[in-house]
């Protein structure tokens, strides 16, 4: 049976209780600030005006996202492939969802808010120490945030050394792209791709 209504969904799952129901915050507290300042990685979700979704990884040294105050954070739009999927979506809808991760920590921090793209000097100056300072920044005005429980990471054992696979058993990015896109050139090796990436870090 396909579930089509919220009432059908709630009949199946019920409602959140206790901390799960009450944990939404509307401002950064000391723990959320510490989480962001310790995090080297996040996933950014956006949508365009037609409702098509996108999720994009963002990373840097711990604290690469800057906390301006209890309701505002700034994310550098670091050098990438110039597809600009996320920031075009932000221009169209002005909304963003963020999932902050810390290696070795199973809990995550979820942040939702209004977003804008800025080239203001006051924001860009926050990232002048980067090897490749960003051309623009994503400014997020926080609407809601909460800590997310550890169950998904516990199930996946994401940080467990024993869960890691042998990279030599997995096709390289170059081989996967050649299969997907075709072309006559030889696939780029993992070593060559890493050397190319390192120039933009």
- DSSP assignment of 127-180 equals GTTSSS--S-EEEEEEEEEEEE-SHHHHHHTTT-GGGPPPGGGS--HHHHHHHH
| Closest among 166, 91, 74 to 125, alpha carbons compared | 74
pLDDT score of 200: 81
171 and 142, same structural domain?
no
Per residue in 93-118, pLDDT (tens digit) is 999 999 999 999 999 999 999 999 99
178 and 138, same structural domain?
no
52 and 115, same structural domain?
yes
The residue among 116 and 201 whose pLDDT is bigger is 116
Cβ neighbours of residue 34 under 8 Å, at least 6 residues apart?
none
Q: Determine the average pLDDT of the residues in 13-40.
A: 91
Q: Determine the average pLDDT of the residues in 124-132.
A: 90
85 and 39, same structural domain?
yes
Residue 10, domain member (yes or no): no
Residue 24, domain member (yes or no): yes
117 and 173, same structural domain?
no
39 and 95, same structural domain?
yes
113 and 43, same structural domain?
yes
Residue 58, domain member (yes or no): yes
CATH number at residue 52: 2.30.110.10
175 and 135, same structural domain?
no
184 and 148, same structural domain?
no
User: What percent of the chain shows pLDDT beyond 90?
Assistant: 77
Q: Determine the average pLDDT of the residues in 123-152.
A: 94
DSSP 41: E
**55 by DSSP, 3-state: which?**
strand
**14 by DSSP, 3-state: which?**
coil
170 and 152, same structural domain?
no
Residue 128, domain member (yes or no): yes
The range of the structural domain enclosing residue 52 comes to: 15-156
76 and 172, same structural domain?
no
Residue 5, domain member (yes or no): no
Residue 45, domain member (yes or no): yes
Average pLDDT, the chain: 94
Residue 63, domain member (yes or no): yes
151 and 81, same structural domain?
yes
Looking at the predicted structure, is the pLDDT value of residue 20 above 80?
no
Domain count, the chain: 2
Looking at the predicted structure, is the pLDDT value of residue 201 above 90?
no
Q: How far apart are CA 133 and CA 95, in angstroms?
A: 24
Residue 106, domain member (yes or no): yes
């Amino acid at each position: 049976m396909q579930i089509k209504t919220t009432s059908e969904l709630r009949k199946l799952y019920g409602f959140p209780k206790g901390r799960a129901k009450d944990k939404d915050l509307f401002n950064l507290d000391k723990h959320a600030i510490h989480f962001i300042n310790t995090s080297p990685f996040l996933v950014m979700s956006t949508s365009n005006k037609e409702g098509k979704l996108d999720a994009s990884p963002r990373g840097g040294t711990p604290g690469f996202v800057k906390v301006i105050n209890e309701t505002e954070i700034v994310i550098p739009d670091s050098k990438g492939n110039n597809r600009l999927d996320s920031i075009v979506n932000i221009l169209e809808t002005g909304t963003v969802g963020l999932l902050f991760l810390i290696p070795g920590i199973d809990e995550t921090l979820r942040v939702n808010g209004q977003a804008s793209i800025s080239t203001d000097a006051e924001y860009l100056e926050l990232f002048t120490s980067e090897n490749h300072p960003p051309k623009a920044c994503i400014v997020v005005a926080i609407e809601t945030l909460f800590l997310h429980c550890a169950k998904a990471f516990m199930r996946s054992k994401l940080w467990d050394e024993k869960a890691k696979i042998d990279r030599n058993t997995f096709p390289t990015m170059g081989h996967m792209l050649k299969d997907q896109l075709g072309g006559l050139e030889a696939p780029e090796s993992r070593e060559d791709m890493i050397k190319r990436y390192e120039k933009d870090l």
